[in-house]
Amino acid sequence: MMKKLFALLLLSAFVTSCSEDGNAKSESADILGQWKVIEILVDPGDGSGTFEPYTEDWKMTFSDDGHIYSYYSLCDPTIHASGDTFFGFPYIASANRVVTEDCFNEGNWQLTYELVGENLILHYPFTEEVSYKFVRVAN
């Protein structure tokens, strides 16, 4: 009886761990592809901020290798990579997080993102809310 109980527990642990991996892959599949910024929200801290049009041509790609690739830095979107180089930042799809490299000697930042309708919204970890709204331009 003990052997059957142990086998059942082992099997259920295996099935649970497999289903969690499947969930992470499906969450990741929702964001894979190239995205372009269409709006920016900068809130002064009182909740009155609204999304406004964004005029720069900032595109980034969520790759299936677990990285975001962009010609603009996630630490400071005003910084553009030179030539054919680009920035790469890891993301964790199951937690809707992007981890930057050392930004301005302040350590790694953890940005969050969410899918809202057809848009991806990237949130920065500042006291005043700063968010970018993206639209998918390619899969």
CB distance 93 to 24 below 8 Å: yes
Enter the CATH code of domain 2-138.
2.40.128.280
Instruction: Retrieve residue 12's tokens.
Output: 């259920």
As a whole number, mean pLDDT of residues 28-35 equals 85
End-to-end CA distance of the chain: 52
* Residues 6+ positions from 4 with CB-CB distance below 8 Å: none
* Residues 6+ positions from 86 with CB-CB distance below 8 Å: 69, 70, 71
As a whole number, mean pLDDT of residues 106-118 equals 85
Give the residue with greater pLDDT, 48 vs 3: 48
Predicted local confidence at residue 102, as pLDDT = 67
Predicted local confidence at residue 137, as pLDDT = 96
At residue 131 the predicted structure's pLDDT band, cuts being 50, 70 and 90, is very high
